[in-house]
Structure 1
Amino acid sequence: MSPRQHEIAERVAEANAEFYQAIETGDIDLMRRVWAEEDQAPDLVCVNPGWPLLRGRAEILRAWSLIMANVPYIQYVLTETHIGVNGDIAMVTCGENVLTAEDDSPGFVAGGQVVTTNLFIRTAQGWRLWSHHASPVLLEEDDEDEE
């Protein structure tokens, strides 16, 4: 990888990290900055596990506002992150290991694994999210649990 390619991949990684930071901190203003504008990337889409497909910036940001307002705690540990760039388009694939508190009970944390594809487009403001698609991973039970 050339120094220029490495620099571009770092910028894409930063944009991807900002997306997760916005969710973890409940920062809707940061989430607005993360997503591209409609004129920069037509047909913005977002798919979260268990949700219908969200289309368009307004619908996507409304859904994220709802999620962030109703989840008291969420943390992502990303694994197997891979970044591919072709011109003004970048794709980030990764595993999301999610820890979340689903109510206000102290110490109550649920976890899950999700595989994700995030597409970014290069704009005058930097790399912006065009599409987020997250799909749950079904975990296999241990053989002992089946007996």
Structure 2
Amino acid sequence: MKRSSTRAALLAGSPEEVETAFYEALQSADVERLMACWSDDDDVFCIHPGSAARVVGVGAIREVFTAMLERGGLDVRVSDIVRMQALTSAVHSVVEHVLVRLPDGPHEALVFATNVYQKTPQGWRIVAHHASTGKPGDGGTHAAPVHVLH
């Protein structure tokens, strides 16, 4: 699918639909569809787990995802979604369950990600993706302790 037709399909979409398209594109190693989810703004950024630096700008983000997906898609399942939305922005906190194939067999890696969306003239688009590794055995959701004042 060409980038322009993919963008048109996302035009009427919600942040949730853009997020679904983003993770489906990761699964299928479809860089064009993945990049159609991103804003064309030069200030967009992405931070990957274990990365030495943040990636800024659409071109740089495309390069990183192209290299990341050159051997195929990522087996990612998203859970524990927390959403906040205003008129022109939305923030989603998710737990990514990534299946990693190692010589001793498959392992699940937990990644805590924050996806930030902005409503642009072209529709909802990702403007930031920040992911950090979780600890093994951590379910990813912890309630803040309740403190009684009286």
TM-score (norm 1): 0.77
**Mapped pair 1:117 → 2:111:** no
Residue matched to 2:58: 57
Residue matched to 1:22: 25
User: Unmatched 5+ residue regions in structure 1?
Assistant: 1-9, 142-147
Alignment of 1:51-130 (within 5 A): 51=51, 52-70=53-71, 72-101=72-101, 108-130=105-127
TM-score (norm 2): 0.75
Given that residues 74 and 101 in structure 1 are in contact (C-alpha distance below 8 angstroms), is that contact kept between their aligned partners in structure 2?
no
Cα deviation, 1:18-75, whole Å, max 9, x if unaligned, reads 111111101011012111011xxx51110010112111111011000000103x3522
Deviation (angstroms), 1:140: 5.4
- Greater share of residues in helix: 1
User: Which amino acid is 1:54 matched to?
Assistant: V
SS of structure 2 residue aligned to 1:112: strand
CA distance, structure 1, for counterparts of residue 126 and residue 136 of structure 2: 28
The two structures, once aligned, show a CA RMSD in angstroms of 2.1
Residue matched to 1:6: none
Given that residues 29 and 74 in structure 2 are in contact (C-alpha distance below 8 angstroms), is that contact kept between their aligned partners in structure 1?
no
Q: Percent identity?
A: 22
User: Unmatched 5+ residue regions in structure 2?
Assistant: 1-12, 139-150
Deviation (angstroms), 1:78: 1.1
